[in-house]
């Protein structure tokens, strides 16, 4: 008999990843596509259906269900309404996938999928109160309190990336200014580097890069070589995120905050700056009682999204 797997899909502002995950949380096969290559959502679903067929054939499995993690996904309605995806307005993503795959489909916020991963397979297995911050194109956040994922009144809790940290600050995709994710995300880090390259005069290897190549990855590589603009960029991003996490702690008092995603895997300079800034800004009540940790999960979002299928069955 063929092994039953869950398809985990992580729809991101840049890439969409689909993977087949077994009941032990192991990823047996995966593939990524560029989200913006599909301006029509129907073409996007069709392409993933083709890929899923190929992955199933190659791995000798059958799909029991589909878990989708997507920015601003609404778990109750199975819809998505995100500012950084190609499809405008409210998209009925669950019914579109159900109609094509004839399988049960579960939708969640991509950040909450990451939380499910930490709860099921990661370091948060025994924690009742924690948060996961995902650093990708944007900044997502999943929150667990009293052992339960926080969805809020209408499914949209955890939009930490859209907390306004600098009124009147950097323009955000959401139409407002000063949101945390304009400072702390792959995009935010690039913007900080641009700002420093404009305001400072010191030498930097970043000045030699084509502008297209400037990103959290190349800035991280420069930082590893001791480039001071690159190091200052991560230092600033760390300071902003650390303050935001201290403020988050004052509201929900988590035991730990896990950092996931590309920037979280940057050199220790970023993590150290976040941790130092959070501890400096922490109210005395929380001193020594909240830690910032790098996630041990890799590819967390598809793993977490797939957990939705096993939890429902």
Q: Which residues make up the interface to a second copy (CB under 8 A)? A: 72, 81, 83, 128-129, 141, 143, 145-146, 148, 150-160, 162-164, 167, 174-176, 243, 246-248, 250-255, 281, 283-286, 289-290
Please state, in angstroms and rounded to a whole number, the distance separating the CA atoms of residues 216 and 311: 35
CB of 136 to a second copy, least distance (A): 18
CB-nearer residue toward a second copy: 49 or 311: 311
Nearer to a second copy, 14 or 129 (CB): 129
Output the smallest distance, CB 122 to a second copy, in A: 17
CB of 132 to a second copy, least distance (A): 13
Nearer of residues 81 and 232 to a second copy, judged by Cβ:
81
Q: Is-contact 224 258, C-beta < 8 A?
A: no
Least separation in angstroms between CB 19 and a second copy: 28
Q: Is 231 or 240 the residue whose CB approaches a second copy more closely? A: 240
Largest CA distance in the chain: 65
Shortest gap between Cβ of 14 and a second copy (angstroms)?
Answer: 21
In angstroms, give the least distance from the CB of 271 to a second copy.
21
Minimum CB distance to a second copy smaller for 136 or for 155: 155
Query: Looking at beta carbons only, is 32 or 123 nearer to a second copy?
Result: 123
d(CA 39, CA 203): 41
* Closest distance of CB 103 from a second copy, Å: 28
Closest CB to a second copy among 202 and 280? 280
Query: To the nearest whole angstrom, how small is the minimum distance from the Cβ of residue 156 to a second copy?
Result: 5
Residue whose CB is less far from a second copy, 178 or 215 = 178
- Least distance in angstroms from the C-beta of 108 to a second copy: 14
Contact indicator for 47, 11 with CB cutoff of 8 Å: no
CB 230 within 8 A of CB 193: yes
3-state secondary structure the chain: CCEEEEEEEEECCCEEEEEEECCCCCEEEEEEEEHHHCCCHHHHHHHHHHHHHHHHHHHCEEEEEEEEEECCEECCCCEECCCCCCCCCCECHHHHHHHHHCCCEEEEEHHHHHHHHHHHCCCCCCCCCEEEEEECCCEEEEEEECCEECCCCCCCCCCHHHCECCCCCCECCCCCECEHHHCCCHHHHHHHHHHHHHHCCCCCHHHHCCHHHCCHHHHHHHHHCCCHHHHHHHHHHHHHHHHHHHHHHHHHCCCEEEEEECHHHCCHHHHHHHHHHHHHHCCHHHCCCCEEEECCCCCHHHHHHHHHHHHHC
Q: In terms of Cα–Cα distance, which of 297, 250, 294, 313 is closest to 113?
A: 297
Question: Residue 25 or residue 73: which is nearer to a second copy going by CB?
Answer: 73
């Amino acid at each position: 008999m063929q092994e039953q797997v869950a398809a985990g899909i992580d729809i991101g502002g840049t890439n969409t990843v689909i993977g087949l995950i077994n009941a032990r949380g192991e990823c047996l096969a995966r593939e990524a596509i560029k989200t913006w290559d599909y301006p029509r959502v129907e073409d996007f679903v069709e392409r993933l259906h083709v890929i899923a067929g190929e992955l199933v054939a190659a791995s000798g499995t059958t799909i029991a269900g589909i878990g989708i993690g997507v920015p601003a996904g609404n778990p109750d309605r199975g819809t998505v309404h995100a500012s950084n995806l190609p499809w405008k307005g409210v998209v009925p993503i669950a019914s579109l996938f159900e109609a094509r795959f004839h399988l049960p489909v579960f939708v969640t916020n991509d950040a909450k999928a990451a939380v499910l991963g930490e709860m099921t397979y990661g370091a948060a297995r025994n924690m009742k109160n924690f948060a996961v911050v995902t650093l990708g194109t944007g900044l997502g956040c999943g929150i667990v309190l009293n052992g339960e994922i926080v969805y809020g009144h209408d499914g949209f809790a955890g939009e930490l990336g859209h907390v306004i940290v600098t009124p009147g600050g950097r323009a955000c995709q959401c139409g407002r200014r000063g949101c945390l994710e304009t400072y702390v995300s792959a995009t935010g880090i690039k913007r900080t580097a641009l700002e420093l390259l404009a305001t400072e005069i010191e030498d930097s290897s970043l000045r030699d890069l084509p502008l297209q190549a400037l990103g959290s990855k190349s800035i991280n590589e420069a930082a590893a070589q001791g480039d001071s603009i690159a190091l200052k960029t991560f230092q600033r991003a760390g300071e902003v995120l650390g303050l935001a996490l201290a403020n988050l702690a004052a509201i929900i008092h988590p035991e730990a905050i896990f950092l996931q995603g590309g920037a979280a895997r940057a050199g220790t300079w970023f993590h150290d700056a976040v941790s130092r800034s959070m501890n400096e800004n922490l109210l005395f009540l929380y001193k020594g009682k909240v830690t910032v940790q790098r996630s041990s999960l890799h590819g967390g979002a598809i793993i977490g999204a797939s957990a939705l299928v096993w939890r429902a069955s």
